[in-house]
Structures are given as C-alpha cells and as structure tokens.
Amino acid sequence: MAKNYWLMKSEADVYSIDDLERDGRTMWDGVRNYQARNNMRKMREGDLVLYYHSRQTPSAVTGIAKVVRESYPDPTQFDRGNKYFDEKSDPDDPRWWLVDVEFVEKLDRQVGLPDIKANPDLSEMVLVRNSRLSVQPVEKAEYDAVLAMARG
C-alpha cells in the first residue's frame, strides 16, 4: 500500500514542533472531532505528516512527523479528571482513537498559511478549504509542494 500524507495541527503554545523534537515521539491525544478521528484511523505506520502550528502569526507548517503506531483508543477519554474525559465513551466500543507520531524534522523555513494560500497548486488543500479540521489528508503533490517552499 502506498504511503499516505497528512497534516496535523497543534496550537503553537500548547505543543510545538520543538516539544516534539524534545520528546522524540508523542501520543496525539485529545482529538474530539469525528472527521479528524476517522483520518487518524486511516493512518498507517510510516505515513508522513506535515506539522502545523495554529495560533501563531502567521500560522504555518513548521516540521515533519511520521506515524509510528497505528490507531488505538485514546486513553484520556476514560480518565475521569482529564480534560479530555468523555463519559459517553464505552470502553468496549471506544469513541476516540489516536496514533503515535515521531519527530522527523524541523523546517529551516516555515511555510506560512498566506504563502500556502498564494500558491495556485495548493488551492485544493483541505487546509485552505476547511480551515478548522485538525487532522487532514494531504495529496503527495501538495506535500511535495509545501516542502519545496520550505526548502526554497
């Protein structure tokens, strides 16, 4: 099966590419949106991820990560007291799933949203068309185009 490409958003001041670099890998917990969850369930080990910072100016792709563990139930949904606790989720049929991702690279040059929007080859990116989805599929051509911009 061919490798797939994705984009995952993180609030820059909550968990940045620098945090991922320091930790090496992380559980992508706390996603509570069905479309985003469904996308994570489609991820396969080795898929590559554009790491995107929202809530910075400008928001931007700042790095690359890799899927290193395929989807499994998000433990925070069963952890009463955790901010992501979901009392409606049944342990025998978990509602929320996540993947583990590993740090690959921090981009020397971030690719800002205005630049992405200005690139006609990227006008169909989910990021441009539905700005709120936090885990999105990315076409290989789009992935390559973003990295080409990062590398000048």
Query: Where on the chain is the footprint of DNA (CB under 7 A)?
Result: 9, 11, 32-35, 54-55, 57-59, 113-114, 117, 127, 130-134
Residue number, 130 or 144, with CB nearest to DNA: 130
Q: What is the CA radius of gyration of the chain?
A: 15
Residue number, 45 or 124, with CB nearest to DNA: 124
Beta bridge partners, 8, equal 51, 135
Shortest distance in whole angstroms from residue 131 CB to DNA: 4
Residue number, 46 or 58, with CB nearest to DNA: 58
Sign of the Cα torsion 3, 38, 121, 111 reads negative
Shortest distance in whole angstroms from residue 113 CB to DNA: 5
In degrees to the nearest 10, what's the CA dihedral of 79, 31, 43, 100? Answer: -50
